[in-house]
């Protein structure tokens, strides 16, 4: 369970989030809103990458102000641009890098890496230069590097924004099959099909919180 209580976030003179309160327990939660509505800040609050100016955020009962490191062990984060997460020369090395602090044997690391690359369709690219992959493959690599850690929750900040339609659909389908709770910040309204709940942000406030169709209808009215 993720709980936000009376959350305000101020950056300089700008209040990015204003009085956000929500309890997120559903398996698939989407967050939508116009550019500048506070979506990315909202995402970063959920694993302690950003902290509230006032109010509180807790995950599994742990406050992000005091236990951010422990929370990040259980909450994976996928950024919009996969290049921000790729740090090693080859695909397999990049996934293995995520496991460096787990104290695993080389055999166990290799097993986990091979398993996750097979799962996300990158097994044939294990020894390829990571930064030479296509945009869609890079996002799959970033996802592999997060999921090899077996998080309980996955937070995704606009994971399909930089992808073409085919790759965006591939990532969306893979995400639907994950057993973890997933909170997705997105402009890709089609990705929200089958989600349990969608929040709409506008000027830093939650202005709608409903099943996908009703929330998307509210969002479209805002844009109009």
Query: What's the pLDDT band for 175 if we cut at 50, 70, 90?
Result: confident
- pLDDT class of 114 with cuts at 50, 70, 90: very high
Going by C-alpha positions, the residue among 199, 198, 182, 185 that lies closest to residue 27 is: 182
Count Cβ atoms below 10 Å from residue 116 Cβ, excluding itself: 23
Is residue 65 over pLDDT 90? yes
Structure confidence at residue 171 as a pLDDT band (50, 70, 90): confident
β partners of residue 23: 3
Backbone angles phi and psi of 196, in degrees to 5: -85, -30
Average pLDDT over residues 167-182: 90
pLDDT value at 188 more than 90: yes
What is the domain partition of the chain in residue ranges?
Answer: 2-74+151-223, 87-150
Range 194-211 average pLDDT:
96
Residue 119 pLDDT class (50, 70, 90 cuts): very high
Nearest Cα residue to 80 out of 166, 143, 157, 164: 157
d(CA 62, CA 204): 24
The tens digit of pLDDT for each residue in 8-63 reads: 999 988 999 999 999 999 999 999 999 999 999 999 999 999 999 999 999 999 99
Q: State residue 166's pLDDT score.
A: 87
Has domain 2-74+151-223 been given CATH number 3.30.2270.10? Answer: no
Continuous segment of H or E residues that includes residue 72:
helix 64-72
Contact indicator for 98, 116 with CB cutoff of 8 Å: no
* 165-177 vs 135-147: helix crossing angle, rounded to 10: 20
pLDDT mean across residues, the chain: 94
Question: Over the stretch 69-113, which tens digit does the pLDDT of each residue have?
Answer: 999 999 999 999 999 999 999 999 999 999 998 999 999 999 999
Burial class (CB within 10 angstroms; exposed 0-12, middle 13-18, buried 19+) of 158: buried
Produce one character per residue of 8-35: b if its CB has 16 or more CB atoms within 10 Å, e if not: ebeeeeebbbeebebebeeebbbbbbee
Q: Give the C-alpha separation, 137 to 176, whole Å.
A: 18
CB of 12 closer than 8 Å to CB of 152: no
Is there a contact between 78 and 141 (Cβ–Cβ < 8 Å)? no
Q: Which of 82, 6, 14, 83 is nearest to 45 (CA)?
A: 6
Percent of the chain surpassing pLDDT 90:
86
pLDDT in the model for residue 212: 96
Q: What percent of the chain has pLDDT over 70?
A: 100
pLDDT at 7: 97
Task: Let me know if 182 is exposed, middle or buried by CB neighbors in 10 A (0-12, 13-18, 19+).
Answer: buried
Q: What is the pTM of this model?
A: 0.93
Q: Convert the pLDDT of each residue in 69-79 to its tens digit.
A: 999 999 999 99
Residue 167's pLDDT band (cuts 50, 70, 90) = confident
């Amino acid at each position: 369970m993720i709980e936000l209580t009376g959350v305000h976030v101020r950056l300089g003179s700008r209040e990015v989030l204003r009085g956000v309160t929500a309890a997120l327990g559903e398996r698939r939660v989407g967050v939508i809103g116009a550019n500048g509505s506070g979506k990315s800040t909202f995402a970063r609050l959920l694993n302690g990458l950003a902290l509230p100016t006032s109010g509180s955020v807790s995950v599994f009962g742990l406050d992000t102000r005091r236990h951010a490191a422990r929370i990040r062990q259980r909450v994976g984060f996928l950024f919009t641009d996969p290049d921000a997460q790729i740090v090693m020369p080859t695909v397999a090395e990049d996934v293995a890098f995520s496991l460096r602090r787990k104290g695993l044997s080389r055999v166990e690391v290799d097993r986990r890496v091979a398993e996750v690359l097979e799962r996300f369709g990158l097994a044939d690219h294990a020894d390829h230069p990571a930064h030479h992959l296509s945009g869609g493959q890079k996002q799959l690599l970033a996802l592999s590097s997060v999921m090899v850690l077996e998080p309980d929750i996955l937070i995704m900040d606009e994971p399909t924004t930089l992808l073409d339609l085919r790759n965006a659909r591939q990532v969306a389908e893979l995400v639907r099959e994950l057993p973890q709770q997933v909170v997705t910040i997105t402009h890709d309204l089609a990705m929200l099909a089958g989600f349990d709940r969608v929040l709409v942000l506008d000027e830093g406030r939650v202005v709608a919180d409903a099943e996908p169709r009703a929330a998307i209808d509210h969002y479209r009215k805002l844009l109009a």
